[in-house]
Structure 1
């Protein structure tokens, strides 16, 4: 529903324009029966087919105009919200028809087919790849937690390699006994320093900067012009590659 000049207007009840809504008066049942009983010529049959196609085209054009006007007024956000609402209503309707109630996860897995499960898994993996961190997002909470787990696993492996025993979890240690632990050996301090140095080296080497290709043609005068030329190439190389090749060969018209 929308409001135009103080009047509520529904997009689903938009009438046909006057020029499109005009049609011949409807024939009575007796007239149609009489016409169907009479033999029709090829030209009359052709005319009837054309009239039928014209009516179908009018209806389709009217639907397209209404849909375009609706998209313009609602916008992308409104259309997306409407799709979500329709999907929710369809889900609620299907749940009501199946007997209602919240189905458990096991029941939901039993009701879907193998193809649907594979498709759902593929979409989940694709969505996970799109969510992969990039740029400044590598410092989010999840990435930091993975880094912490990786460090603890590396410390545990180093401890097992040094002592040959499993690392004992000291979760039951007295928290008030701070400062009473034996001093840390110089080897462990050196190991910490080396680990921090390796992390600094990896951080300095981590970059998305592309390496310079000496064999590539130089078509720029500075870094800014190089980036601009790449953007232009991505947009127009598909249309101008043949023209440039003809100019280089000297066979251009």
Structure 2
């Protein structure tokens, strides 16, 4: 039996008090970062392979179904506003298409050829990296996608929560964060989903840092899409230049990013 489908360590959940349920869920959740810690070496190897490919114009493409697909889309959608990169640098694809983000599409994950078709809609780039996300490691949509990608010379990786899965056997870098049975048996949106989210955070954040999208510890290329982010950028410029708030904000809005604003400031000082 797959670890992700194994019986919960807890029983008679409906008889537990609310506080007991919450404490037990939390106790299980604490196992997740420890499982992720075990796979850091393989994550590091993947990132080191991805960065030069993206420097040559490759993209990072996540494919998944259900919760796994939604997590990939979430990570991909956060990269443009956070790091100021084009929307197609990091792409999230889900079995069933965008309508499956909110509502399950029947049998979509069982089509082993559709993921490659979905990838090709974005064009083919030999430097692309395809990361298949599947808690079970057995989703046909994902397995078919990475098999076709690898056959066409692309770098492939997987994020699963079962050891030695079918998906792991089809990729160059297999990340297996084995978190154990779910609190509710088989509910992989819980610990497995949390593990996948942590791994995705680590991959995209580290890649963006190595691509020069962070300076010091600041998101200097972030999009100024709301008042909070404008204020954050203003504070960064004040800290970097010593300008007063009004001048820093004016410079930020005129230049469009923290990076450009600080570069302009120092070019004028010389």
What TM-score, normalized by structure 1, do the two folds share?
0.21
The structure that has the greater radius of gyration is 1
Structure with more helix by fraction: 1
